[in-house]
Every structure is written in structure tokens, then in C-alpha cells.
A and B are shown apart, each in its own frame.
Chain A
Amino acid sequence: GAGVSQTPSNKVTEKGKYVELRCDPISGHTALYWYRQSLGQGPEFLIYFQGTGAADDSGLPNDRFFAVRPEGSVSTLKIQRTERGDSAVYLCASGTSGADTQYFGPGTRLTVL
């Protein structure tokens, strides 16, 4: 079956612009995670959804970052007033509820010029 997909695969934007990154989880998965990863670092947790609600958004670095999952499937990560330091690979993962295996998408590489 289809895995987790993320669009776009690459996004180049200018400092100060707004961007949206999309994640399509595996059908039926209630848990959805967003991470960002800088070169040479491990994935940094951003936010975790169970269904439509954010169960834990403690990883969002500041109020420029926001994520939604209105129907409990597709999620969008929104970044306002982008900064050069936001450049990273943004990873999405989904899974069934509980603590079982998470399946990762290929990521979106965001470059802020």
C-alpha cells in the first residue's frame, strides 16, 4: 500500500515568506508526527497529533510554527515569516495509536535564502 507522502519534496523560499508543508499519512493511522532535521543532527521533535488534536506541541520552536490536522488525516505544517535558520529537512511520520512502529515520509527539504 501507499506509504507516507510529503509535498513538496523541495521548497526554496525567501526570508520573511510564508510556507506550508504537507503530509499525507498512511490511511487509518491516527498518530502523526512532525520533525525537523539539520545536517548531522538527529530528528528534532516538533509536534504530535492523535486524530485531529495536537497531543503534544512542545517541540514547536516559536509561534511562527503552527500545524493542523483538521480531519484527522492530512496534516499541514505552516511556517510564517521564515528565517534562514528554518532551513532543514522536515520529516513526517504516522502510526497506529499507541507506541508501535512509526512510518516516515521522505521529507521536505526547506531552504530559506
Chain B
Amino acid sequence: SQQGEEDPQALSIQEGENATMNCSYKTSINNLQWYRQNSGRGLVHLILIRSNEREKHSGRLRVTLDTSKKSSSLLITASRAADTASYFCAPRYNNTDMRFGAGTRLTVKP
């Protein structure tokens, strides 16, 4: 099974600033996914990047993947108070289970 480890554990920024979160993993992957969680309820899928991709964009989100370093980063540009949440990465390989680390707790101050 795979598990991502997010870094930093907590991040506090002002509205309008950019937020960068990192993820490291240990073995080969097919893809890596980022999820957001508000208020301890269900996770929401944000973006999926495949192992043959290096960068992907979705709105204000930019994800990079470096398979040689087994790491990924999530950049949120022009952050908003509504981006306050916990962010988790999930490295995936075929039909395996999906496990999460402790996440990065992002606080965006208005």
C-alpha cells in the first residue's frame, strides 16, 4: 500500500498570498491525487496527476510531480479565506487501497 506524507503540518497565510504544500511517498505510482477536507467531514477530490505528467493546473491550483524524488507539491494561488481546510495527498498504484497522512492544515486569514 501507499501512503503520502504531507508537509508542513500547518500553514497560516494572509488572503491573497500563495500557499504551497508538499507530499512525499515511497514507491512507484500510477497517479497521485490531492484532496481537501473541511470541518472533519468528507474529503473532496481536487486534482489527479498521472505518473507521466509533471505539472497540472485546475483554476487556482497547480500540482507538480517529480517521480525521481517521489514528491509532489500543491500550489494554491491568490488564496481566499474559503481555502481554509486540511489538504491530503494520495499516491495510487493500480487496485490498491488508498491511505492518507496527517495532512496539511491551511489557515487563510482575511
Residues of A within 8 A of B (CB): 4, 31, 33, 35, 37, 39, 41-43, 45, 48, 50, 55-56, 58-59, 89, 91, 93, 97-107
Contact = CB atoms under 8 A, between A and B. Distances in A.
Nearest to B31: A99
Contacts of A56: 1, 96-97
B41 A50 contact: no
Given A56-B1, A99-B30, A99-B96, A91 B101 contact: no
Given A98-B95, A99-B92, 11 more contacts: A37-B40, A39-B40, A42-B100, A45-B97, A97-B95, A99-B30, A99-B31, A99-B93, A100-B92, A101-B45, A103-B45
Nearest to B46: A101
Contacts, number: 72
Contacts of A107: 40-42
Nearest to A35: B100
Contacts of B93: 99
A43 B36 CA distance: 12
A77 to B, nearest CB: 15
A39 B40 CA distance: 7
Contacts of A37: 40
B98 interface: yes
A89 B40 contact: yes
A102 B98 contact: yes
Interface string B31-74: 10101000011111100100000000000000000000000000
A45 B102 CA distance: 12
29 contacts: A31-B95, A35-B100, A39-B40, A41-B102, A42-B88, A42-B103, A43-B43, A45-B1, A45-B100, A55-B97, A56-B1, A56-B97, A59-B97, A89-B41, A91-B42, A91-B43, A97-B95, A98-B94, A99-B30, A99-B31, A99-B94, A99-B95, A99-B96, A100-B31, A101-B33, A102-B98, A103-B45, A106-B41, A107-B41
